Chains A and B, each alone.
Chain A
Amino acid sequence: MQHKILVVDDDADIRDLVATKLESSGYDVETAGDGVTGLELATNNSYSLVISDVMMPGMSGVDMVRMMRAAEPPVTVPVILLTAKNQERDIENGFAAGITDYVVKPFSPRELAARVAGILAR
């Protein structure tokens, strides 16, 4: 089965870069430009993994994950958070909200793809 991944980031350059990298690794990728659209897609579709930025207009990545986990039924898909350097509070809040892992920006697309593969292999 081909894994489907949702990438949520308001920065179109980074969204496209991550999507391109994951598509080249053989994943089916969908994207959203903000947390509200990301939440809508995540609750109405079945993804193997969600990758989300933290700081986004409207709804942050952490709030999006919190609402995914609080949905009825809960969306239990693994989530990787893309967070800025020195934002320990975001990471702490992210884990409290139910993220699976985090990657600090500036990030290596190669390392991100390796983490995705590791989570999907579990």
Chain B
Amino acid sequence: MLVSWDVLAAAVVVLSIACLLALAAVVVVKGSRHARERSRTVHDAAIRRRIMALAVVEDAELDALIDELSSVPGAVGDHVEQTLLRMIPEVRGDVREAMIRVLAGRGLLRRSLDRITSRSPIQRAAAAELLGILGGREVVDPLTAALHDKSLEVRLVAARALGVAARPEAGGHLVDALSLSSGIPHSVAATALLNLPEQDPAVYIEGLLDRDPGIRYGSAAVVGLLLMSEAAEALFQCMVTEGGRQDPSDVVISTCARSLGRLGYKPATDALAELSCSAEAPSSVRQAAGEALKAMPGSEAREVRRRVIEQADADVRRILVDA
């Protein structure tokens, strides 16, 4: 098929215009990036030494420096906030406290508390993240409320933020967030729980009795990772059949067994041995019991392991032979 010269010429013109437009877009993007970098350099020069001084200033001068940085206006003030938000996750101790006081002084706490009820889920998630960084008693209630946000993204960010804020009173709410219906991945809620200080074992003991298997599973796992010996008997009760309340979920039973192994809870040794050889238990439970038995300390446990090796299936034997 022949194409006329006119059509070819038109195509060349259109292509040339498209190329020019693309080139112009690249120039504009690069130009704006350079402008941003230039303005960052200018703002840096204006304020960076004062921000860094938060790490070295004498106690008597700290309040004045915090007031000074809190009241820096305009773009330089925004630069102060951005720099501190980048640095806070990397530092702890009195420097972190001083940085947070600057951000609170600049109204970031108030603005974030307002934004966490915004109509936009992006705004709510951003506010939740900032509240986690800012920490303190006043962020717990809005963040625990955000665990029930209609947006999964906001719920996820709120769970992470509660871990960053590290307030012990958030424990029960994060245990609830382990439920299967929350949509929050177990790893996120559990990681947040591992960050909390001074936790109450009763929260986890209650969690092990919850109707939701997600909460029972998460509670069992976190108790083991936290080495919370106060909850060992409750774990044991979830695992055993006779005289106890064996959990209906094999995953929960396996997790209880592993956590009992981590805790080195000696009264569970015989029950773990029985479970690791049980013909009724699924292979995953037998192996979890074997792993727990492997972790048990003391000469009695060594003797029990020797006995189990003679009776158990090949998978459990393989686990125990290395012990």
Contact = CB atoms under 8 A, between A and B. Distances in A.
Interface in B53-97: 53, 55-56, 83, 86-87, 89-96
A24 B56 contact: yes
A105 interface: yes
Interface string A1-33: 000000000010110110011001000000000
Contact of B83 (A13, A21, A110): A13
B92 A108 contact: yes
Given A17-B52, A21-B56, A109 B93 contact: yes
A106 interface: yes
Given A106-B91, A110-B93, A20 B55 contact: yes
A21 B91 CA distance: 13
A14 B93 contact: no
A111 interface: yes
Contact of B91 (A16, A17, A20, A24): A17
A116 to B, nearest CB: 14
Given A24-B56, A109-B55, A17 B87 contact: yes
A83 to B, nearest CB: 12
Contacts of A16: 48, 52
Contacts of A111: 93
Nearest to A23: B56
Contacts of A13: 83, 86-87, 90
Interface residues of B, number: 17
Contacts, number: 45
Interface string A95-106: 000000000011
Interface in A16-52: 16-17, 20-21, 24
Contacts of A20: 49, 52-53, 55-56
B30 to A, nearest CB: 21
A54 to B, nearest CB: 13
A24 B54 CA distance: 12
B87 A110 contact: no
Contact of B90 (A21, A24, A107, A110): A107
Contacts of A14: 87, 90
B94 A105 contact: no
A108 B90 contact: no
Given A13-B86, A17-B87, A106 B96 contact: yes
B231 to A, nearest CB: 23
Contacts of A109: 55, 91, 93, 95
A106 B92 contact: yes
A106 B89 contact: yes
5 contacts: A13-B90, A20-B49, A106-B91, A108-B94, A110-B94
Given A13-B83, A17-B52, 9 more contacts: A13-B86, A13-B87, A16-B48, A17-B91, A20-B52, A106-B89, A106-B91, A108-B94, A111-B93
Shortest 6 CB-CB distances between A and B: which pairs?
A108-B93, A24-B56, A20-B52, A106-B92, A109-B55, A21-B55
